Amino acid sequence: MFEVTVPSADPTTFHAELRAQLDALIGDERDLIANLANAAALIWHTTADLNWAGFYLRRSDTELVLGPFQGKPACVRIAVGKGVCGTAVARDASVRVDDVHAFPGHIACDGASRSELVVPIRHNGKVVGVLDLDSPRLARFTEADQAGFEALVDSLARRTDLDCV
């Protein structure tokens, strides 16, 4: 049985401990769905002030499809270039939004969301999906959070078979 522990409150230590927990949780497992499901659950249970944590997978050049997540039911399909998730894919860069209501074209799957962080997952030089984190708190995500979740996603991508995406 894996024991989830809430990492330190210090952002740098928090993200290092979160990555270590994810590495221990994944072990030698390479399956995409299993690893994304466990990553979403781990993030959900350790990260304060979230109302949604999960993944969207790129299923074509123009569309993301809902993957493993924790939180309320979500939008199933998001066009590349639309909303925060689609914008992150189109830009091939993380997008951190302090106030989603001020983000042009924001897709409101949960009306309680106030801020959002989306981090691309890359494989063979292409964005194959995104980690999407929503919070009911304005400006919830910091630069340290962005850097920490980018490192977590990079580690996850290296340890997971992404050829099926």
Report the CATH number that the domain containing residue 44 is assigned in CATH: 3.30.450.40
Residue 61 structural domain: 11-159
Q: State residue 8's pLDDT score.
A: 77
Domain count, the chain: 1
The Cα 17–Cα 108 span in angstroms is 31
Q: Is residue 3 part of a domain?
A: no
pLDDT at 42: 96
12: which 2 tokens?
């740098």
What's the pTM value of the predicted model, to 2 decimals?
Answer: 0.95
Given this model, what pLDDT does residue 5 score?
Answer: 77
Domain-embedded: residue 164: no
Q: Is residue 83 part of a domain?
A: yes
pLDDT at 10: 87
Is residue 135 situated within a structural domain? yes
1: in domain: no
Residues whose CB is less than 8 angstroms from the CB of residue 39 and which lie 6 or more positions away in sequence, other chains included: 22, 25, 26, 55, 68, 131, 152, 156
Residue 4 lies in a domain: no
What residue ranges of the chain have pLDDT lower than 50?
Answer: none
Q: Is residue 108 domain-resident?
A: yes
Locate 90 and state its tokens.
């189109």
pLDDT tens, position by position, 52-74:
999 999 999 999 999 999 999 99
User: Tokens at residue 80, please?
Assistant: 């590349």
Q: What is the pLDDT of residue 1?
A: 61
User: Could you tell me if residue 97 is inside a domain?
Assistant: yes
